[in-house]
Amino acid sequence: MESPTAKLDRVVKEIADEMRQRPDRGEVASYIPELARVDASRFGLVVIDADGHVAAGGDSETPFSIQSISKVFTLTLALGKAGDRLWQRVGREPSGSAFNSIVQLEYERGIPRNPFINAGAIAITDLILSGHQPREALGEILRFMQFLADDDSITIDEAVAASEQRTGFRNAALANYMKSFGVLSNPVEHTLGVYFHHCAIAMSCRQLAMAGRFLAHAGRNPATGLTVVQKERALRINSVMLMCGHYDGSGEFAYRVGLPGKSGVGGGILAIAPGKASIAVWAPGLDANGNSHLGRVALEALTKRMGWSIFGA
Ligand code: GLN
């Protein structure tokens, strides 16, 4: 009889092989020029189970731009600072519109729908920045990632940050618009600078799956026994990931994969199988909603074969 660990290793390898052969890869993000240079044929998958076993396939050690996946971790940090008061600044409803929608922000008078659309994440970054210099706030975010992944080698890709800083006109529009409603407390350039830089954190699938373990295990890192956040908070972060983590593709992701997940335009997805595993996948080609195409396909295969959907095995 195949052991559960052997099964997980086999399934991860099978999926990595299958994904390598797929012709449908989506389109790499081009609105951030530096991301347009990434090779669309890359694919990585890492699953870390409750015992700390690491199952890896494909380009599992190659760092990529985590982009909006960083928003899960800035939300966690900001909840630590502001507690539930945070929900006065941003909502927690699915947006049903694009991640950089301006029209929705106008309609809702500068209060972003949720912490994962760009406007919401910029408001959260502003909250972390308050009372600090941009450099200190960014250092805090980076150190949090290094602590969670247990890896001090994680860095920010300055070329990606600079590329977005030069071209991020829409984010500047969203930030200025929120500022006009008094939603942002700090100078817009400072908040945006920290936001672009935390989006430009580069991590491999293995590092990202390591960083997500506390969400898979009710707020505790099972390797160290340390509590990162209280159980209730971890469960709630997962619920926001399920409902809002893929923008206007969140319904489709829940339908097909059945796990909380957060995507980034670098092609990464962090997915959480509660009580079972922390999962990171990377396939740079995106679908029309800006979510990794093969990343979603791979996760759909994984949850089906492992019986991990939160809606029933
Ligand atoms: N830094 C990107 C942006 O602000 C993040 C978007 C994403 O990953 N969906 O546009």
Task: Classify domain 68-201 by CATH architecture.
Answer: 3-Layer(aba) Sandwich (3.40)
- Running DSSP on this structure, what letter comes out for residue 270? E
Euclidean distance between CA atoms 99 and 83, whole angstroms: 24
- Helical H segments across 63-133, by residue range: 70-82, 103-107, 118-129
Query: Closest Cα partner for 283 from 304, 301, 260, 308?
Result: 301
Span from the CA of 67 to the centroid of ligand 1 (angstroms):
6
Task: Quote the pLDDT of residue 308.
Answer: 97
Tokens linked to 242:
């399920």
Query: Confidence band (pLDDT; 50, 70, 90) for 150?
Result: very high
Mean of the per-residue pLDDT values for the chain? Answer: 96
Start-end ranges of CATH 3.40.710.10 in the chain? 4-67+204-306, 68-201
Which atom of ligand 1 is found nearest the CA of 69? 8
In tens, the pLDDT along 7-64 reads 999 999 999 999 999 999 999 999 999 999 999 999 999 999 999 999 999 999 999 9
Task: Classify domain 4-67+204-306 by CATH architecture.
Answer: 3-Layer(aba) Sandwich (3.40)
Query: Closest Cα partner for 287 from 26, 32, 16, 99?
Result: 26
Indicate the pairing of strand 64-65 with strand 155-156.
unpaired
Tokens linked to 40:
């669309």
| Global pTM exceeds 0.85 | yes
CB 171 less than 6 A from any atom of ligand 1: yes
Task: Quote the pLDDT of residue 180.
Answer: 95
Mean pLDDT of the region 233-238? 98
Give yes or no for residue 313 having a pLDDT over 80.
no
Q: Which residue type occupies 14?
A: E
**Whose structure tokens read 């969670």?**
148
**Whose structure tokens read 């790499």?**
28
Give yes or no for residue 83 having a pLDDT over 90.
yes
Span from the CA of 6 to the centroid of ligand 1 (angstroms):
36
- Report which protein residue has its CA nearest ligand 1's atom 4: 118
* Catalytic one of 12, 70, 72, 195: 195
Span from the CA of 308 to the centroid of ligand 1 (angstroms):
28
Let me know: does 191 contact 122? Beta carbons within 8 Å.
yes
Euclidean distance between CA atoms 248 and 73, whole angstroms: 21
